[in-house]
Amino acid sequence: MSKDITPPKAKIKPKRLKIHNDLRIDDYYWLNDRENPEVIEYLEQENTYCDAMLAHTKDFQTNLFKEMKARIKEDDESVPYKFNGYWYIVKFEKGKDYPIYTRKKETLKAKEEILLDCNEMAKDYSYFKLVGISISPNNDLVSFGIDTVGRRQYTLHIKNLVTGKTYKDTIKNTTGGATWANDNKTLFYTSKNEHTLRSDKIFKHILGNAVKNDVLTFSEDDDTFGTTVYKTKSKKYIVIASYSTLTTEYQILNANNPEGEFKIFQPRVRGLEYSINHYKNEFFIVTNADNATNFKLMKTCEDATEISKWEDVIAHREDVLLEGIDIFKDFLVITERRNGLNEIRIRRWDNSEEYYLPFDNETYTAYTTTNIDFDTTILRYGYNSLKTPSSIIDFDMVTKTKEIKKEQEVLGGTFKKENYISERVWATAQDGTKIPISLIYHRDTKKDKSTPLLLYAYGSYGSTIDPYFSTIRLSLLDRGFIYAIAHVRGGEYLGRHWYENGRLLQKINTFTDFIECSKFLIESQYTSAKHHYAMGGSAGGLLIGVIVNLAPELYNGVITQVPFVDIITTMLDENIPLTTGEYDEWGNPNDKEYYDYIKSYSPYDNVEEKNYPNLLITTGLHDSQVQYWEPAKWIAKLRTLKKDNNILLLKTNMEAGHAGASGRFEALKEDALEYAFLLDLEGKNK
């Protein structure tokens, strides 16, 4: 990488930010105006600089892109699933970036009906995302949401599948999802606050009526909550859910009576989390009631839903996290996590039999998938591991036989899973806690001080990064990289307490866990600091931002994707999307205790005059989750203060949001850029 090119320099326009008698001077606050031409000019200058600094890797990026794309089956389709008399299939065609949604009536030999061809719909847009497909009970109508900016503000459309015509009426600023009542004309949907993007209102739309006459069904007035609406698997109830980080509340309405009044299932109680599943005349409830930290399963009659009527079905266990359930006519399927590993437990309703599906290694991911039908003995689940491509499997719960319906193809002819080694190791945190790390590497890769290693983590919101297979990752593994996932506190890998010990006033554990994992890998000679790399996105980008402040000497390079790095300023601005709903995760900095704690680790507020690793930072101009100005301000401050000559790059996708590019293969170009950055630092640019 050439170091003779002059990097852009953002103008310094000091802004005084004062709270709790503490004054912060933000020199780059002005960058938070995407309508300001100066801001756009600066972002484009950074893009130009990034391109210039990586110009010598341009051909390599192209080759990486082609290599990644060549492993993917272009003409592909999903495993069909049956719903209400139709088989539904999602197809991809060669040379096309977007999915085609189809169905066949009753039998897979029937004539194919194209519901939505996203390739045609996306032709006029640089960004396109379709979500929330919802079929009416009579199979004649479909609703769906479209976003052409990347800000996750979806416009809701309704198409008549008999005539093939899409109705002119559209509903703007929604979540994209909607739910049909059983009358085939009433549609419930969720709208968003235009400024904060909080999902805050449920409306009722009657087919044929003007959208302006839609009825407000529910308004979530607590700005720390969001709301959504859906139908139970039994099809009997429309459900409105209100949710915050630590509290949930549900309202139910018979789907045959869309003009009726919703009834609160159990009023919200701070700290009470529950989810509901309807079966026959009962509701089954996954909940943390009665201090069930790892959750338990309860049930109640559908006519008496308050918590005092709930009865235990599966008791709370200290060593097992209950993650969810699937209900069938004769079977209850329970998804659990024990010692970090996924388990699928099958129980007959009459309690005559109970067993677990067998899984036999420590670096796998297993999960139930599309199980819409009640009256079946077939459970559909997915399985993959760090070295095993994903499979969709139909398991007969009576005969205990399985059929692999689809196994992910890795094209190119060079991939063999026996050529890779995966393992799970344990680092020790500062407080003595054991932190698991999942790793994979090529069997020809030697573990020593010269071996490059990329360590990834997320570590927030109780979201667990399970060991998963990636065809893209092979481009690193086949060039001698070790890839590792640090299962740090803040996720739920080892249960709910794993999350509780990595949020609010214990958030520092997330960051120090990652650092201790890095030290362990270096001390165990999987790698050395000269060849050690780190990556994280969004809240995982916050993690990376913290660790390069705390322990920059451990890393040769890092990649942060859409990083949440200006945490105090964001959490003090209630007009920024998501802020108010995040207080239970980070703390509310309007409270001095939380302000001081957040400030102690906030990446932007803790940039210092010292050496930093090589950094590649990515963002999207229209990001609704982490605003583009956070990484933009961060890089500007880093440019001013850092003392080293290492590479510092910002790449902004000017046409996308939090998830990056929308096309199936367009997103691979972003992966190719990131991998080229890493591999070039290692001199492996072929």
Q: What is the pLDDT of residues 461-520, one digit of tens each?
A: 999 999 999 999 999 999 999 999 999 999 999 999 999 999 999 999 999 999 999 999
In DSSP terms, 91 is beta-bridged to 77, 100
Residues 46 and 168 both lie in one domain: no
pLDDT per position as a tens digit, 60-84 = 999 999 999 999 999 999 999 999 9
Last residue of a domain, one of 272, 305, 324: 272
- Mean pLDDT calculated for residue range 665-671: 90
Range of the domain at 161: 125-272
Query: Cα(388)–Cα(511) distance, rounded to whole angstroms?
Result: 30
Query: Is 80 exceeded by the pLDDT of residue 661?
Result: no
Q: What percent of the chain has pLDDT over 90?
A: 89
Q: Are residues 621 and 474 both part of a single domain? A: yes
Q: Which amino acids are annotated catalytic?
A: 538, 623, 658
> Residue 382: enclosing H or E segment and its boundaries?
strand 378-385
Do 670 and 521 fall within a single domain? yes
- Note whether 211 and 62 are same-domain residues: no
Nearest to 85 by CA among 134, 161, 158, 139: 139
Ranges assigned E (strand) in 531-647: 532-537, 557-561, 614-620
- Residue 657 maps to a domain: yes
Per-residue pLDDT at 289: 97
One domain, residues 457 and 596: yes
Domain annotation covers residue 48: yes
pLDDT for residue 1 is more than 70: no
Contacts with 559 (C-beta within 8 Å, 6 or more apart), sequence order: 533, 534, 535, 544, 615, 616, 617, 618, 674, 677, 678
Q: Is residue 361 part of a domain?
A: no
For residue 660, the 8-state DSSP code is B
φ/ψ (deg, to 5) at 48: -60, -45
Residue 375 lies in a domain: no
Condensed to tens digits (0 to 9), the pLDDT of residues 386-429 reads 999 999 999 999 999 999 999 999 998 899 999 999 999 999 99
Q: Are residues 610 and 544 in the same domain?
A: yes
CA distance 481 to 173: 43
For 423-491, the three-class secondary structure string (H helix, E strand, C coil) is: EEEEEECCCCCEEEEEEEEECCCCCCCCCCEEEECCCCCCCCCCCCCCCCCHHHHCCCCEEEEECCECE
Residues 46 and 186 in one domain: no
Scored b (16 or more CB within 10 A) or e, 547-556 reads: bbbbbbebbb
- Show which of 218, 241, 272 is a domain's final residue: 272
Is the predicted pLDDT of residue 662 greater than 90, yes or no? Answer: no
Give the residue from 575, 655, 568, 572 showing the smallest Cα distance to 619.
655
Q: Are 441 and 557 in the same domain?
A: yes
Rounded Cα distance between 277 and 299, Å, is: 9
d(CA 266, CA 288): 13
Contact predicate 225/218, CB 8 Å: no
How many domains does one find in the chain? 2
In a domain? residue 378: no
State the pLDDT at residue 579.
75
47 and 132 in one domain? no
Asked if residue 627 lies in contact with residue 570, where contact means CB atoms within 8 angstroms, the answer is: yes
Q: Which residue has the tokens 């072929």?
A: 686
Q: How far apart are CA 391 and CA 348, in angstroms?
A: 25
For residue 149, the model assigns a pLDDT of 86
CA dist 126 and 682 (Å) reads 34
The sign of the CA dihedral 144, 148, 153, 157 is: negative
Q: Which pLDDT score, from 0 to 100, does residue 405 have?
A: 96
Which of 212, 239, 237 minimizes the C-alpha distance to 227?
Answer: 239
For residue 205, the domain's CATH number is 2.130.10.120
Please say if the pLDDT value at position 2 is more than 60.
no
What rounded mean pLDDT belongs to the chain?
A: 95
Q: Can you tell me whether residue 138 is helix, strand or coil?
A: coil
Residue range 101-139, pLDDT digits in tens: 999 999 999 999 999 999 999 999 988 999 999 999 999
- Tell me the average pLDDT across 243-263: 97
CB atoms within 10 A of CB 256: 13
Is pTM beyond 0.85 here? Answer: yes
Asked if residue 294 belongs to a domain, the reply is no
Indicate the residue among 246, 272, 298 that finishes a domain. Answer: 272
Q: Which CATH number covers residue 463?
A: 3.40.50.1820
The β-bridge relationship of strands 341-348 and 331-338 is: antiparallel
Q: Can you tell me which residue has the tokens 């600091």?
A: 529
* Chain center to CA of 245: 15
Same domain? 478 vs 554: yes
What pLDDT, on a 0 to 100 scale, did the predictor assign at position 34?
87
Whole-number pLDDT of residue 577: 67
- Would you say residue 345 has pLDDT above 80? yes
Instruction: Give bridge partners of residue 437 from the DSSP assignment.
Output: 425, 486
Q: What is the Cα–Cα distance from 438 to 456, expressed in whole angstroms? A: 10
pLDDT band, very low/low/confident/very high, at 578 (cuts 50, 70, 90): low
Buried b (16+ CB within 10 A) or exposed e, 129-155: bbebbbbbeebebbbbbbbbbbbbbbe
One domain for residues 656 and 510 = yes
Residue 141, H or E segment = strand 141-147
Q: What does the block give as tokens for 297?
A: 């399963």
- 3 state DSSP class of 369: coil
Contact 422, 473 (CB under 8 A): no
Distance, CA of 345 to chain centre = 25
Is residue 392 domain-resident?
no
Which residues partner with 253 through β-bridges? 238
Work out the average pLDDT over 525-546.
Answer: 97
Element of type H or E holding 174: strand 171-180
State both tokens at 294. Answer: 């790892």
Residue 567 located in a structural domain: yes
> Which residue do the tokens 């070295």 mark?
387
> Mean pLDDT over residues 421-443, rounded?
97
The pLDDT score that the predictor gives to residue 657 is 58
Do 504 and 596 belong to one domain? yes
3 state DSSP class of 517: helix
